[in-house]
């Protein structure tokens, strides 16, 4: 399905134009909607934060108001007790009255130090308890419930100030007691002299407090929690966590830095909001302390709840956008297809012409717009094309003939130089190998060698210029070398004879640089004449390769008929490697027009230990190819290497 759709798009201009229009429109819409939705999301988030913080503030205000009422009730009662320390029974009246006047309170204890009232014995604590239907009052304290050891009693005594206890479960097996979790506001009782004599404790039920806090739900899946000084949960929707787990419990099993920071912030009594994952759900937590109790209240709002309306609106907008773009695509396609219908007809006619029916004329077209002018231009092009194709066919035939002739010329040129190796299969004292690679179909380099009367004649030359003229000049030069060398002339005489012949009637002013040598195979001595050519490289046995010292470079052949020439002689080259080459080796260029140079050639040969001549030439050709790195050859490359064994 997708392949067919892509194929249709490749074949239909109207479809592609329509798609590009819709894509551009989509880009504009996406940028606009992205900006709008980004701003809307920020607005929704800020409004959600404001709403959640307002709900939290109201909750804290209600709970704080209750706490204040509890503290106020306790403080109002505290000033009466020192006035009636001489009437212990009045304490029962006071503890009962405070519950009657404050029905939200769970209990009240007016407890004294052991044996404070000597006639009442070790225990004296007036305790009243509101069970929701009635208020019951009793003297608490016995061997099973020593109230003066309880936290609610000791905290006020040790801190010497009013304070709130952490929620706890009271238990007195021999008397009445609260059957639910309570928290107590405790205040020290002092006599008229300022000495501590007991503790006043006013209790509230945690179930009542939890119901008030949990009722707050700014969002459907939001919930409230409350923690104590140690981070213990007093209010939590998961009852299994109440009083037995802290906000840090889950961080003991796996690291959760965000939750740890939240817990510490709530312990420090800070207000704020944080974003973290709770039970795998991304949520925002809004938290605030409860006055001076040391407790902290938080509302947990799942992010999905906060942005549920926004997400719904976003989905609807995307659906509308997609439907609208598809409708736009269809309308654009219909309009563009109608306007481009003449172009489709022209395309069909072009296919007919491309099949070879060049004489089939285009139908008339009366349109004056761009398509009409295209019809007229194509009709003119068709007639011109017929004429041009005829000329191209003639030119192609002529070019093919020239290329064929160049191929024949190349074959003839290559057949003029020795190409069969080993060069002298019947001789074990000569290791010789040569190679010639023209830069074009034919080139101007040459080499030759042969053995006659125990003398090895050889030469390497480089004709000025390239192509067919150079190849003709090369053929003449090579034949002249072979003719004069076979007559037993010395290299000096060969050079003079060739120079005289080439200088005559040389209207094109062509010349050839040439190195001509002759080695006595019995003595190893070598005579040579260098006619403006590159110095050969000589590698002594177990020695370092170097350029052969040339005393007389002489002029290239074919420039001046009367030019003087001089030759040189080496006593014995047996065992030494001699490399002759044209400048296509050292002047080979790469794509950056950097030349290979003599140093690279010498470095390569220095790394080869007593190599055969064929290996030397193949290594040098590989070096040139690597240096060119894809660049076309800029000159012919000819190499000749030999060693007398």
Amino acid 411: pLDDT: 62
DSSP state, 187? E
- Of 588, 498, 457, which is closest to residue 534 (Cα–Cα)? 588
Q: For residue 362, what pLDDT is reported? A: 66
86, 101, 131, 290, 337 from 179: Cα distances, Å: 33, 22, 9, 25, 84
What pLDDT does residue 406 have? Answer: 57
The confidence score (pLDDT) of residue 485 equals 95
**How far is residue 152's CA from residue 587's CA, in Å, rounded to a whole number?**
103
pLDDT at site 342: 66
Distance from C-alpha of 523 to C-alpha of 571, rounded to nearest angstrom: 8
pLDDT score for 356: 67
User: Which ranges of the chain have pLDDT less than 50?
Assistant: none
User: Cβ atoms within 10 A of the Cβ of 529, count?
Assistant: 24
pLDDT attached to residue 458 = 97
The pair of structure tokens assigned to 617 is 């030439």
Position of tokens 């804290």?
60
* CA triple 603-445-616, angle to 5 deg: 30
Q: At which residue do the structure tokens 């800020």 appear? A: 46
User: Can you give 521-559 as a three-state secondary structure string?
Assistant: CCCCCEEEEEECCCCCEEECCCCCCEECCCCCCCCCECC
* Residue 585 φ then ψ, to 5°: -85, -60
Residue-level pLDDT at 519: 97
Helix intervals (H) in 299-415: 303-306, 308-339, 341-354, 370-415
Q: What pLDDT score was predicted for residue 40?
A: 73
How many helices (H) and strands (E) the chain has is answered by: 16, 21
Give the dihedral sign, CA 472/477/482/486.
Answer: positive
Chain position carrying tokens 């395309």 = 347
Nearest partner of 299 among 315, 287, 289, 283, judged by Cα? 287
pTM check: above 0.85: no
Q: How far apart are CA 461 and CA 486, in angstroms?
A: 18
Q: In what order do the strands lie in the sheet with 430-437?
A: 430-437, 637-644, 577-581, 537-539, 546-547
């Amino acid at each position: 399905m997708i392949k067919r759709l892509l194929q249709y798009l490749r074949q239909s201009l109207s479809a592609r134009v329509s798609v590009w229009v819709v894509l551009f429109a989509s880009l504009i819409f996406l940028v606009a909607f992205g900006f709008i939705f980004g701003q809307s999301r920020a607005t929704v988030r800020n409004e959600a934060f404001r709403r959640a913080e307002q709900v939290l503030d109201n909750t804290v205000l209600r709970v704080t108001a209750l706490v204040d009422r509890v503290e106020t009730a306790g403080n109002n009662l505290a000033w009466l007790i020192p006035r009636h320390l001489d009437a212990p029974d009045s304490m029962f009246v006071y503890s009962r009255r405070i519950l009657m006047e404050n029905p939200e309170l769970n209990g009240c204890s007016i407890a004294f130090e052991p044996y404070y009232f000597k006639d009442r014995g070790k225990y004296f604590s007036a305790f009243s308890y509101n069970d929701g239907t009635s208020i019951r009052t009793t003297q608490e304290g016995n061997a099973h419930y020593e109230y003066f050891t309880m936290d609610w009693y000791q905290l006020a005594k040790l801190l010497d100030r009013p304070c709130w206890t952490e929620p706890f479960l009271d238990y007195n097996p021999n008397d009445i007691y609260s059957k639910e979790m309570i928290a107590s506001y405790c205040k020290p009782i002092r006599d008229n002299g300022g000495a501590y004599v007991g503790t006043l404790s006013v209790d509230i039920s945690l179930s009542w407090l939890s119901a008030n806090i949990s009722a707050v739900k700014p969002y459907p899946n939001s919930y409230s929690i409350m923690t104590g000084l140690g981070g213990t949960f007093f209010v939590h929707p998961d009852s299994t966590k109440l009083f037995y787990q802290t906000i840090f419990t889950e961080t003991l099993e796996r690291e959760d830095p965000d939750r740890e920071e939240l817990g510490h912030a709530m312990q420090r009594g800070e207000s704020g909001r944080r974003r973290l994952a709770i039970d795998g759900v991304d949520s925002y937590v809004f938290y605030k302390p409860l006055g001076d109790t040391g407790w902290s209240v938080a509302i947990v709002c799942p992010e999905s709840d906060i942005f549920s309306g926004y997400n719904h609106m976003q989905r609807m907008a995307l659906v509308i956008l997609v439907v609208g773009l598809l409708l736009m695509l269809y309308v654009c396609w219909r309009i563009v297809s109608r306007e481009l219908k003449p172009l489709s007809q022209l395309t069909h006619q072009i296919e007919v012409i491309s099949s070879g029916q060049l004489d089939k004329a285009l139908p008339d077209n009366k349109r004056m717009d761009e398509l009409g002018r295209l019809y007229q231009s194509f009709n003119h092009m068709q007639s011109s094309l017929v004429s041009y194709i005829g000329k191209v066919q003639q030119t192609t035939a002529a070019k093919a003939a020239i290329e064929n002739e160049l191929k024949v010329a190349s074959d003839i040129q290559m057949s003029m130089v020795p190409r069969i190796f080993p060069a002298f299969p019947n001789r074990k004292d000569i290791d010789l190998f040569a190679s010639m690679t023209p830069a074009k179909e034919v080139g101007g380099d040459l080499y030759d060698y042969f053995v006659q009367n125990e003398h090895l004649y050889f030469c390497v030359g480089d004709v000025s210029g390239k192509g067919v003229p150079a190849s003709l000049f090369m053929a003449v030069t090579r034949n002249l070398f072979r003719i004069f060398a076979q007559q037993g002339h010395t290299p000096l005489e060969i050079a003079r004879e060739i120079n005289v012949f080439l200088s005559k009637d040389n209207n094109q002013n062509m010349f050839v640089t040439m190195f001509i040598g002759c080695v006595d195979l019995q003595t190893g001595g070598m005579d040579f004449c260098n006619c403006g050519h590159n110095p050969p490289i000589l590698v002594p046995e177990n020695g370092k390769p170097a350029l052969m010292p040339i005393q007389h470079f002489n002029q290239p052949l074919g420039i001046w008929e009367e030019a003087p020439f001089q030759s040189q002689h080496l006593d014995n080259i047996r065992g030494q490697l001699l490399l002759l080459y044209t400048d296509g080796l050292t002047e080979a260029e790469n794509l950056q027009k950097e030349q290979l140079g003599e140093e690279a050639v010498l470095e390569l040969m220095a790394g080869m230990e007593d190599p055969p001549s064929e290996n030397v030439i193949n290594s040098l050709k590989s070096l040139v190819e690597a240096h060119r790195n894809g660049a076309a050859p800029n000159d012919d490359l000819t190499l000749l290497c030999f060693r007398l064994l």
